[in-house]
Amino acid sequence: MADTPLAHQFDDVAQQREAAGLGMWTFLATEVLFFGGLFTVYTVYRVKDSAAFVEACHELYMWLGAINTVVLLTSSWTMALGVHAAQHGERRRAVSFLVRTAVLGLVFLLIKGTEYSLDIRERLVPGPGFRAEWTVDPTHAQLFFVLYFVMTGLHAVHMLAGIGVVSAMAFMVWKSRSSTHHANALEMAGLYWHFVDIVWIFLFPLLYLVA
């Protein structure tokens, strides 16, 4: 980390790194509560009206969700390797892993978009056009799909932001002389990416598997 620039308010590079980490984890705590509200609504209605939620769960494409989980877990792996490479001064390797991470993020959104178009074709969007003949409780079945679209939609927005940040970091590391110059910022970008991965780790069983 010899090439890491030190801001004047810090004693040393280690203190600077920890301060950045603490700030990022504080931001992630607000994100936990942002998604937490939706997870709480889901849990309340899952406990109260589980029959409709179990039925609705069967209407989703479980395999597309599972494949997307593989894609995201792999992207977290490549992100961790990208941060590791940058910290060890392997600039080209870092850029290569960051590009792979961003591409995997795009693959995730592509699969998610395909899934949305299938859901829309099968008239699973809540509202007047909702196809309800498969459920005994159309009201709560629609509530499930409201939560499905809002939670996966909000997650997808976070993915877009993550892809933007990772792409920008890839560009900055590629342009700079040394990869350790951006190692700190890259580690923070990694924390964000892994957090979005963890949100999906809980969304997948709650929406696709709790049948």
Partner 1 sequence: MTEHTASTRTYRNVAMTLFVLLAGTVIVAKLQLGTLAPVIALSIAAAKAVLVAMFFMHLYYGSRLTRVFAAAGLFWLLILLGLTLGDFLSRS
Cβ count near 26 (within 10 Å): 10
DSSP class of residue 89 equals T
- Identified binder of partner 1 from the candidate list 10, 13, 64, 185, rule CB under 8 A: 13
Q: Is 3 in the site for partner 1 (CB under 8 A)?
A: no
Only one of the segments 64-72, 112-120, 147-155, 157-165 lies at the binding site for partner 1 (rule: CB under 8 A); that segment is 64-72
Q: How far is the CB of 127 from partner 1 (least distance, A)?
A: 26
Q: Which two three-digit tokens encode residue 100?
A: 């792979």
Helical packing angle, 13-48 and 50-57, nearest 10°: 110
CB-CB contact of 82 with 94 (8 Å):
yes
Question: What number of H helices and E strands is found in the chain?
Answer: 6, 0
- Identified binder of partner 1 from the candidate list 10, 84, 96, 111, rule CB under 8 A: 84
141-170 mask for partner 1 (x: CB under 8 A)? ------------------------------
Q: Is 207 in the site for partner 1 (CB under 8 A)?
A: no
Q: Which of 122, 114, 117 is nearest to 67 (CA)?
A: 114
Of 55 and 125, which has the nearer Cβ to partner 1? Answer: 55
Nearest-10 Cα torsion for 161, 102, 111, 202: -60
CA-CA distance, 62 to 65, in Å (whole number)? 5
Q: Is 74 in the site for partner 1 (CB under 8 A)?
A: yes
Q: Is 32 in the site for partner 1 (CB under 8 A)?
A: yes
Interaction site with partner 1 (CB under 8 A): 1, 13-14, 18, 21-22, 25-26, 28-33, 36-37, 39-40, 43-44, 47-48, 62, 66, 69-70, 73-74, 76-77, 79-81, 84, 87, 187, 190-191, 194-195, 197-198, 201-202, 204-206, 209-211
